[in-house]
Structure 1
Amino acid sequence: GGAGDVNKRQHLDIATITGGVAYMNHAEVFSENQDIVVATTGRLLQYIKEENFDCRAVETLILDEADRMLDMGFAQDIEHIAGETRWRKQTMLFSATLEGDAIKDFAERLLEDPVEVSANPSTRERKKIHQWYYRADNFEHKVALLKHLLKQDDATRSIVFVRKRERVHELAETLRLAGINNCYLEGEMAQIKRNEGIKRLTDGRVNVLVATDVAARGIDIPDVSHVINFDMPRSGDTYLHRIGRTGRAGPVAATPLRARAPARPGGG
């Protein structure tokens, strides 16, 4: 995605290290000089411990989405990587928020006399998105509403968001049994399976993706017609991030709500 765009303009040697990929496919990363290495923490740390990756030549360490990595429990791994790259000249930390003691303490441990740059993102959606919420009497009614929405002719490519990865499998199977072909993404999935699922959606073999916010983070899926919040997001920012994935004129964001669920983020 982003690394490829940079490479087209700057002609840099860029390598990617992710989980779910065999070591032999990463071998060129270790045998050739790379200008930029984009890596997931777990797999990079594994290669560092196995002494396959030499950190002494690292000049800049960039920690993207630090708040999310903390939420996912990667703080210790990141600090280990920071210690192994102690010869670096610069460290950059990007986070959607610096609020809360956890992210502040984390930044203080990793950064030395940092300069803080803040941006105020728009709290409004950038394009006209039709937003609807549906009241459901119970969970079964909520599932029935979801099936109805996904079976509409204009639901050509939909993303269904849930909060927990345990529900991803349950909901994907429920939809499959209802004749709604779908793929799913969850946080513990191997990279090769993630890629296969995304390709099935973009190729048009399925037109529904079920995912958690964490699992769907960073993926780019074109021409999304519907975003459905099966589970309410935890914050307004997450809601805007979800519905911002729609890519067509007049796309739809739908939120089925059970009677007891608070209607926090939303629209109309």
Structure 2
Amino acid sequence: MIQTQYTGANCPHCHRKLTLLLTEQPDTSWALCFHCRKLTSFTGEIPLKLPASKLAPTQKQQISDFIASLPVDDHYQGPGSQLRLADDATFHRRWLSLAEYERQFSETLEYRTPDLRTAPATCKWCGKALPQGRRSFCKDSCSRNYTKVTFTKRSTPTVPYRIACRDDFRCQITGVDLAWHNRFGQRIPVHNGAMAIHHLVPVAQQGTDYADNLITLSQKAHLAYHQNDPEMVAKITALREQRLAGPGGEKMYWQ
């Protein structure tokens, strides 16, 4: 069995680039998407979508044996890798914690929650003028609502959240606003559901979770890049080369 990637071979579910697993039998091959963890079998011209739970024991063993035969780099389990191989032969994404980030890169990720108000003397939640003596919220209920959205129910891991904070919740290629707007029309520092954090040097190529290796993109721009849109690929590649040449470039790769 041979592992390869081919331009134009994209996942039918999430449209990311597929990893192709070619068997010695010319009439059967496999395609594995590491993003949505979907497995597709191609027999002749008919694609058969197979989630891991539907595989026969012999098929699971075949895939496990194949993965075990790959070089260590192809297992996506190098030092500090963020993709973990599970028992069902699928890969699961796990972001570094702040403690792991500091230990691996010998520095802290300092970006804090940004103040997205257009006027400093207004409430962060409802936009009304602040009463005398208050700096952020006009009343306690606004403070509670803001905290609930930005912390208690944020549902975004800390590292990607701080990268989005650094980038002001805007796509770094198109400039699209990716912050959530509440019912008062205020920009709130959580994503609006159309945001992606992209690795300039892919994890599969020993890319790290270092801040310089991460950028905020809209899902549309992210998808266009993974579908090999020439303009998007050129812009992101130029940004990657710029950061690789910077002071933090060496930390974008595992040494």
Q: Please report the TM-score for the alignment, with normalisation by the length of structure 2.
A: 0.30
Q: Please report the TM-score for the alignment, with normalisation by the length of structure 1.
A: 0.29
Return the structure number with greater helix share: 1
Higher RCO structure, 1 or 2 (CA under 8 Å, sep 6+): 1
